[in-house]
Amino acid sequence: MLYDRLDRLRDRTTTRLAELYKQRGFNHQAVWEREAFVDREVERMERLLGVDRGLCFGRLDTIEGSVSHIGRIALADEEYNPLLIDWRAPAAEPFYRATAANPGQLARRRHIQVRHRKVIGVDDEVFVGDAQAAPAGSIHGEAALIASLNAHRTGRMSDIVATIQAEQDRIIRAPLKGILVVQGGPGTGKTVAALHRAAYLLYTHREQLERSGVLVIGPNSTFMRYIDQVLPSLGETGVNLTTIGGLLPGIEASADDDALAQLKGDLRMAGVVAAAVRYHQRVPRKPVRLEIDGVGLDLDPEFVRTARTRARRSRRSHNEARPVFVREVLRPLALQYLERSGQAVDDDELADMRAELADHPDVRSVLDDLWPALSPQSLLAALFSDPKLVSAAARSLDPEERHLLQRSGRSQDGPWSEADIPLLDEAAELLGEIPDETALAAARRAEQERRAEQEFAADLLTGLDLGFPVDASQVAERYRGTPASTTTEQRAAQDRAWAYGHVIIDEAQELSPMAWRMVMRRVPSKSMTVVGDIAQTSAVAGARSWSAVLDPHAEGRWRLQTLSVNYRTPAEVMKVAADVLASIDPSLTPPESVRSTGEAPSAVPVTPDRLDDRLAELVAVDLDAEAEGRTAVIVPSRRAEDVYARLTDPGGGGIPPETVALGTRDPAALDARLVVLTVNQAKGLEFDSVIVMEPAEILAESARGATDLYVAVTRPTQHLTVLYTGDLPDELASLAP
């Protein structure tokens, strides 16, 4: 019945769109009325098309005898009687929160498993009669949950809307205000809970967040591809997903080495960037002599110092304060010229003379030297390459750090590293836009035209009764015939200074102090969901504690919730991971697994000359065993290219190239049945089988090698194999043959 209703709604929407597209529109009003309806129907169709899988997954029976069904979206019949309740609605909360100890008004909760519109399983929890009470902290819908956990990985994260557990639901439905920190070990579902929280907040605070937008920040591009289908499957497409390296429009970022990334992530770099800006606001040591049309002028350092002081006191950014500086410098020069050339000195003559001097090449050259217009790229390129600037601006750094910074030299065109992005953002904040007088004049004319067009559009919309809000500025854009960004996420993605209504950060423990400064600028309201695990911090500039990174920005405005149940990783694998975790910090407690596969992880010793052959054999076994699943080979960074080449070499591993991908170069790596990854690329991902190669090298290649190993061994949902030469690290002693 529900699917029949869904199909009818889709057919009706399709018919309505066809009718709208047939309308020609003989005037602007008719065209805009049609396009407004088209936009609304397209949005509705996108939502209806995204919910077919598992449309209805739950049923609630109350003590009074009422029955309701829970699903991905809300559906109603022709008389608007509810047929299906949206999982985010308050009425659906008992489906996730009720327990045997506190069932409320529920008599029964039913989990419904559906495949291709057919019910394949029903799991009932009865809360009345002789039903035996389960422990208060037990999982609910166990059959559906275990079935989803045992299913083969697809290369993309799936939603958990049908199997959300009570501790996850508390996070999902937490209030919008303030910073919610979600601390959880591997497999606890913190990422997917945060994504469901985005969908819930958009449902609950639609009007507010549709205007300001929601931003999701992940650790790397591979991870972003891994999660990009979760929100669309929940009917939400209006969310920006990006990495730290993608927060500056138009700039692509690569990686820095550990030492350089740690230095650039240090909070002292904010002072270094600010000092570099001030360095370009110069006062000459002696008067500057200028010859203008045969008249000698002297630009006294005291004039320049006064101009610089007034420009700085304007509290404008560097580039926006430049006109103030220029105006203050030109005034005494113009006065000198008029006096020395014997001309009358009055306000009109003074204004004309200032304008003439401003256009003179020699004067412009001096002004550009004393207070140049700067871009963030040009500022950092100079900082990284000019020893004099480094010495002047980076006094808070020791000599070795200054040398390291200078060694990272970049041209104005890059390439830029991910650690450079927060520095570029810091510079952009201090510099502001570069003013151009011609462009400013054109912009003023364009703004006047735009206002007139918006007034016309507003008058046009006043006569329409569309039944939903339409932005007059967007109507004016289209009316003018220029392309318009019609969605909040499109406009936000193009605007560095956009203020989001809510920001979600996954793997947040990896952010450096400078990266936190950049993120906080994107959300002035400090409405955030911060997701991570301090025990998995592998970045050398990453967090040691949540208070250390959050208190400088929002002391007393953040709260912590912990996820303690591991839904992904089998108990056998977590037993091995617990030993690695203890080597990081003996006081840390691993999350408790809810399931067991009955298959113990294995360690495979091999001689160096047999390493490649043995890896190929293990891969072949895993691919054969996981005919529909995914296998990952997690390797030390320096081995990634070589391992991939040998696995695909017909004379070596002989794995068909279409079966295997290399995470460092292949954007579609997650779709391959076999993928070769470094630890950083594997962060946050999950696979049916995982082969960890040369764990001793993983331990040795980073200052936080034990953390990297902990991440590596907690990626599988079924099987873990460790392949090694030499001695097995002490952290994995329990695997010793």
- Tokens at residue 459, please? 């008058």
Pairing relation of β-strands 674-677 and 660-662? parallel
Amino acid at 470: V
725 belongs to an annotated ligand binding site = no
8 A C-beta contact, residue 709 and residue 690: no
Tokens standing for residue 36 = 């407004």
Residue written as token pair 């070499």 = 649
Q: Classify the C-alpha dihedral 441-446-447-451 as positive or negative.
A: positive
Query: What are the two backbone dihedrals, phi and then psi, of residue 106, each rounded to the nearest 5 degrees?
Result: -80, 135
Is 166 in contact with 97 (CB distance < 8 Å)?
Answer: yes
Q: How far apart are the first and last CA of the chain?
A: 57
User: In sequence order, what E strands does 410-543 have?
Assistant: 416-417, 502-505, 528-532
Please state, in angstroms and rounded to a whole number, the distance separating the CA atoms of residues 548 and 513.
Answer: 9
Distance CA 494, CA 473 (A): 17
For residue 68, what are its two tokens? Answer: 């309701």
190 is in an annotated binding site: yes
Contact 569, 173 (CB under 8 A): no
The Cα 711–Cα 138 span in angstroms is: 26
CA 157 remoteness from chain centre: 16
- Which residues lie below 8 Å from residue 534, measured CB to CB, with a gap of 6+? 183, 509, 543, 544, 545, 546
- 245 among annotated binding-site residues: no
191 assigned to a ligand binding site: yes
Which sign does the torsion angle of CA 310, 311, 317, 323 carry? Answer: positive
**Strands annotated E in 131-247:** 179-184, 214-218, 239-243
Check whether 184 is labelled as a binding-site residue: yes
Residues in the chain, overall count = 737
List all residues 6 or more positions away from 138 whose beta carbon is below 8 Å from its beta carbon. 99, 100
DSSP assigned state of 71: E
**In sequence order, what are the residues at sequence separation of 6 or more whose Cβ sits closer than 8 angstroms to the Cβ of residue 409?**
381, 384, 385
Positions of E strands within 75-173: 75-76, 82-86, 106-115, 118-126
Sequence ranges of the binding site for ATP = 184-191
Feature table: binding site: 184-191
